[in-house]
Amino acid sequence: MKKKILIFEDDLATAELAGIVAEQLGFEVAYRIRTDSVLSDVAAESPHIILMDNWIPGDGGFDSIQLLKNTPTTADIPIIFYSANTDFAGLAQTSMADAYITKPFDITDLEGIIKRLIPDSNM
Amino acid sequence: MPEYAQALRKIFGTALDASVDGVVITDNKLPDNPIIYCNQAFCDITGYSMDEIIGHNCRFLQANDRNQEVRRTIADAIKEGKACQVDIRNYKKDGSLFFNELSISPVYDEDGNITHFIGIQNDITRRKEAEHSLKLERENLEKRVNERTKELQEHEAFLKGIVETIRESLIVLNPDLKIALVNKHFEKFFKINANELIDQKLTDVLEGSWNIPELVNLLENVLPEHNPFEDFEVVHDFPYIGTRRLILNASQITVGGAYQNWILLAMEDITERYVIEKKKDDFIAIASHEMKTPITVVKGNLQLLERMLEKGDMEGYKPRLRQSMDSMENLNRLISNLLDTSILTSGSTNKTSEVIKVIDIIDTPLAQVGEVYKSHDFVLYGDTDLEILGNKDQLSQVITNLLINAAKYSKDSKQVVMHVGRVGNFAKISVTDTGIGIAKENHKRVFDRFYRVSGNDNNYFGAGIGLYISQQIVADHGGTIWVESEIGEGSVFSITLPLSK
């Protein structure tokens, strides 16, 4: 059975790009363009891994990650935090994300992080 | 003469000779009242020998200094047969001046006739000199005091001039933190009269606004050790003037005995500067974020394309190329917008205004956006010949932003309708799409994201900065921009611009 990635990204072109990268790793991809209801989104999709943008409508990436990581049913799902924010590294390190990557990124770096967090991904 | 009287006379004579006061006796019965006796002290005071004195009238001591007021006093006293005492300028044999404290007493016989005058002389030159120099000193002192007072007054006026000219609030505190002085700027800034402040404790005035423990600690404990201190930042909600961000500099001053450990407190209002800098920081944060977004897409797609090329599998390359090119176009548009912002902040719009027809700001954007969104149907109607006053490039940018938004958010229903009409003294331009729409609570927010966004702020609204820029441009032209929309029912963005006449 395919593993699933849930991508929270409001820029459609970026979401599409990340989706292609994940698909090439054998993932099934689901998208959300807002973060008003991450708990129910994650409950609905049951992803194996989450890719979370920072500046995104709704609660935003940072708070959404806190929420997911503080909720027992979603706390174990690895989350990659990514953003084009200038001072993102500092923010990401104080977040509860499992990994972070700064935009613009190399697709091989994103692949590397996904494979590290989901070792048995299909590649 | 009885023996007793003779002895007494000898005693008197000896006493007179021993006196340190000069004594002369004149014979009033002889013409011109000649001196018939003088003692040794008189000789010592005047420098004359006894032989040179006897027989003369006393006036010889006045030499040529004849116009002294006191002579009249003496003359009157002698005439009336009374005693008198005067201070008179006399001259010694060597011509040198001495002040003589002279007492003259007449001697009467049994018949009431004046037989003699006795003069007691005292050299009071030193006392006179001392008095004189004291008087001079007094006059001098008074003059100097007057001069210094004038200088001080001028200096004070000068300093006051400086203090009042400074566009910073200044406050002087005594060691008990009671207010001794505030400058005009302070009164103006805090909207309070100095009378309400003087002699009050700093911590009591302005509804206790200044009762800030860190500040009090700083003034009472830190300042004496580390004088002066600078750049103490205070953010506080003050009565009358609201929340202000102030930078305080303080120095402890001791001037003479009267002003021990007084405190000079200068405060600079950096509220506006802080807001501007915050806006600038936000702008930079957003601008770089927005630029990196299309770059992320281009970079990722190029890497995907490179992989395809390496594998020799070019299936699906076209959408990747297309997306790269679209992102480049987004980036280009973004940069145009950012440049517009920098033009706005430097406030050059008015200088570049000209009379233009509405069609002039519409036709180019319409053609360009129509080229990008080929599958959309753009409809324009209304009075496009209305003349407005404005900057053609900037207003074209607004129209471009509105058209792109309309096209971008109306993917399924592809019609974008543009209408131009006259409302009062304004031209109203409306762009209507039938797309996804905007929730009511976001109708205002779509224009003002610059104020809310910061590095840690997640309230970011991902609609691009075009609307913010558009709002700035329109406002700068004296117009307004707004949106009417319902979720799922499309949006109408409208702007008004003042007509040129």
Looking at the predicted structure, is the pLDDT value of residue B338 above 80?
Answer: no
Partner A contacted by B311 (CB < 8 A): no
- Write out the residue range of the structural domain in which residue B19 sits: 3-123
Q: Looking at B226, B253, B269, which one is the last position of a domain?
A: B269
pLDDT tens profile B242-276: 888 999 888 888 877 777 788 888 988 898 888 87
A122 lies in some domain: no
Q: Looking at B253, B269, B285, which one is the last position of a domain?
A: B269
Residues B411 and B489 in one domain: yes
Residues B8 and B113 in one domain: yes
pLDDT tens profile B193-245: 888 888 999 888 888 888 888 888 888 888 888 788 888 888 888 888 888 89
Rounded (10°) CA dihedral B122, B123, B126, B129: 100
Q: Looking at B123, B153, B185, which one is the last position of a domain?
A: B123
What is the CB neighbour count within 10 angstroms for residue B21? 16
- Write out the residue range of the structural domain in which residue A81 sits: 4-117
User: Which residue in chain A is spatially nearest to B284 when comparing CA positions?
Assistant: A86
Residues of B in contact with A61 (CB under 8 A): 458
Residues B113 and B178 in one domain: no
Q: Output the domain CATH number for residue B52.
A: 3.30.450.20
At residue B452, the pLDDT reads 36
For chain A, the distance separating the N- and C-terminal CA atoms, rounded to the nearest angstrom, is 14
Number of domains, chain B: 3
What phi and psi, each to the nearest 5 degrees, are found at residue A101? -145, 145
Minimal Cβ distance to B462: which of A11, A105, A106: A11
User: Which residue in chain B is spatially nearest to A53 when comparing CA positions?
Assistant: B458
Chain B (245-284) residues lying within 8 Å, Cβ to Cβ, of chain A: 284
Q: Cβ separation of B458 and A10 shorter than 8 Å?
A: no
Residues B94 and B171 in one domain: no
Number of H helices, E strands in chain B: 13, 17
Q: Which of B291, B458, B461 to mutate to test the interface with A (most CBs of A within 10 A)?
A: B458
For residue A95, the distance in angstroms to the closest alpha carbon of chain B comes to: 11
B114 lies in some domain: yes
Residues B102 and B224 in one domain: no
* B58-62, B300-304, B412-416, B462-466: the lowest-pLDDT one: B462-466
Partner B contacted by A36 (CB < 8 A): no
At residue B1, the pLDDT reads 57
Q: Output the domain CATH number for residue A105.
A: 3.40.50.2300
**Residue B61 C-alpha from the chain's centroid:** 70
Residues B355 and B494 in one domain: yes
Q: Cβ separation of A84 and B461 shorter than 8 Å?
A: no
Whole-complex ipTM: 0.94
Q: Output the domain CATH number for residue B430.
A: 3.30.565.10
B341 lies in some domain: no
Minimal Cβ distance to A106: which of B303, B455, B458: B303
pLDDT tens profile A7-40: 999 888 999 999 999 999 999 999 998 898 999 9
Residues of A in contact with B461 (CB under 8 A): 57
**DSSP run (H or E) holding B109:** none
**pLDDT band, residue A111 (cuts 50/70/90):** very high
Diameter of chain B measured on Cα atoms: 168
Helix (H, G, I), strand (E, B) or coil at B406: helix
